[in-house]
Amino acid sequence: MTITNLAELLSESQSDFVVYDLGRRVQAIDADTFSAICAQQRPYPYPLQDHAWFAVVFWPQRTAEQPEPFLWFLKMPLDERGLLNHAAQQEFMTHVIAMLGQQITGALSDEQEQQLQQSAYLFTPSEAKRAAVHAQLTARWQRPPSRYYQAAQSELLQPTAEGWQQLGIQGIHDVAARLHDDAATATAIAENFAQYPEPLQNALAEALEHTAAPQTMKEQLLAGVTSNSSQVRLNSLRALAGLASDATLQQHLAQRIPVATADELVIIVARLWPALCGDLMEAYLLRCAELNNSALFAGIVRDILRLPDTRIFALGLVQRNDLPTPLYKAWQQFIGAQ
């Protein structure tokens, strides 16, 4: 059989695998969806900077115990249709097969490891995204969390004046990934989120944006969306990223968007874009236009048009004849500059 894409390479090497998106949020991509993306049967759903960003975790099939997996952090270009670039897949696979053959789960020598890392399609994610991947994998496989977990859990349960300074990022992500099974910590975070020291609140929001917050936390985080504190508003939006399709969240966004700041608008399109797939799109783009920042408007619109989920709503909206004047003018300026 001729191997034509990454999903086929993994399957033909007799590997089991899981895949996560690493572009916008760290979230799992099921095997059928990944196969369709690799075969160019559907566009990549979470494009960022015209690339797909993957964490591909794989291991040999038919082993008695779960072995230590192999991990590729892959950055693959997309074509003008939003499809995974076929030539890039071929180039990466040729590079891998030349070193390892089709049995890609074999042990690598130091020299082979160095050669593999020279691939233009491998990248090093941020520390926070690496922590999110590790936390989600250990939770998924019911393995123990990292050694940083206990300290992070204790500090989030009962905040102290300076204890947050000793916490490891991995521990915070481990806690976030396990909140659905830890009602006490989820309740404590909900009650204390707005009062945590800013560095801890920032790190926690960054961890929560890669999860779907438990329902027990939703009410307090939603209250943060309309807080008087800009820091709390931004971090609450990030922490709610996994609930972007929630109707109650969309109601809160409908109240906030007409007065949203530029930073809030950027967070919404970057992390909460599913919320824009409907009636909120007009209010959102109108607010972007009202800020009279052509660079901001252009950047946000380009991002919306790259995302398959939001593109259709935006294009349907701007073709109307009754657009609000600020939005009409901003859109005309945008298309005139393209």
Same domain for 106 and 194, yes or no, is no
Residue 203 resides in a domain: yes
Ramachandran angles phi, psi of 178, nearest 5°: -115, 10
% of the chain surpassing 90 pLDDT: 80
Q: Closest by alpha carbon to 195, among 240, 167, 155, 250?
A: 155
CA–CA dist 76, 37 (Å, integer)? 11
User: Residue 141 contacts by C-beta under 8 Å, 6 or more apart in sequence?
Assistant: 66
Same domain for 154 and 185, yes or no, is yes
Same domain for 86 and 47, yes or no, is yes
Q: Closest by alpha carbon to 208, among 265, 248, 267?
A: 267
**DSSP-H helix ranges across 58-168:** 86-100, 110-117, 127-140, 149-157
**Where among 214, 247, 271 does a domain terminate?**
214
Ramachandran angles phi, psi of 261, nearest 5°: -85, 170
Instruction: Estimate the crossing angle of helix 169-177 against helix 127-140, to 10 degrees.
Output: 40
pTM: 0.92
CA–CA dist 285, 323 (Å, integer)? 11
Q: 67: burial class by Cβ within 10 Å (0-12, 13-18, 19+)?
A: exposed
User: Residue 1: which pLDDT band, with cuts at 50, 70 and 90?
Assistant: low
Q: Closest by alpha carbon to 13, among 22, 28, 1, 29?
A: 1
**Where among 155, 184, 214 does a domain terminate?**
214
Record the tokens describing residue 228, joined without a space: 């008087």
Residue 326 resides in a domain: no
Provide the pLDDT for residue 74: 96
Same domain for 89 and 148, yes or no, is no
Q: 125: burial class by Cβ within 10 Å (0-12, 13-18, 19+)?
A: middle
User: Residue 4: which pLDDT band, with cuts at 50, 70 and 90?
Assistant: confident
Residue 239 resides in a domain: no
Number of domains in the chain: 2
pLDDT tens across 286-324, in order?
Answer: 999 999 999 999 999 999 999 999 999 999 999 999 999
Q: Closest by alpha carbon to 240, among 200, 248, 181, 255?
A: 248
DSSP 105: T
CA–CA dist 238, 207 (Å, integer)? 9
Same domain for 196 and 94, yes or no, is no
Ramachandran angles phi, psi of 69, nearest 5°: -80, 160
Tell the residue number behind the tokens 């040999």, with chain if given. Answer: 60
Region at 296 (left for phi over 0; alpha for psi -120 to 50; beta for the rest): alpha
Question: Do the Cβ atoms of 132 and 172 come closer than 8 Å?
Answer: no
Same domain for 135 and 186, yes or no, is yes
Rounded to the nearest integer, the mean pLDDT of the chain is: 92
Same domain for 14 and 61, yes or no, is yes
Residues forming a β-bridge with 15: 60
Is the predicted pLDDT of residue 280 greater than 60, yes or no? yes
CA–CA dist 19, 7 (Å, integer)? 10
Domain that holds residue 141: 126-214
**Where among 69, 85, 117 does a domain terminate?**
117
Residue 34 resides in a domain: yes
Ramachandran angles phi, psi of 320, nearest 5°: -70, 155
pLDDT tens across 221-267, in order?
Answer: 999 999 999 999 999 999 999 999 999 999 999 999 999 999 999 99
- 112 against 189, higher pLDDT: 189
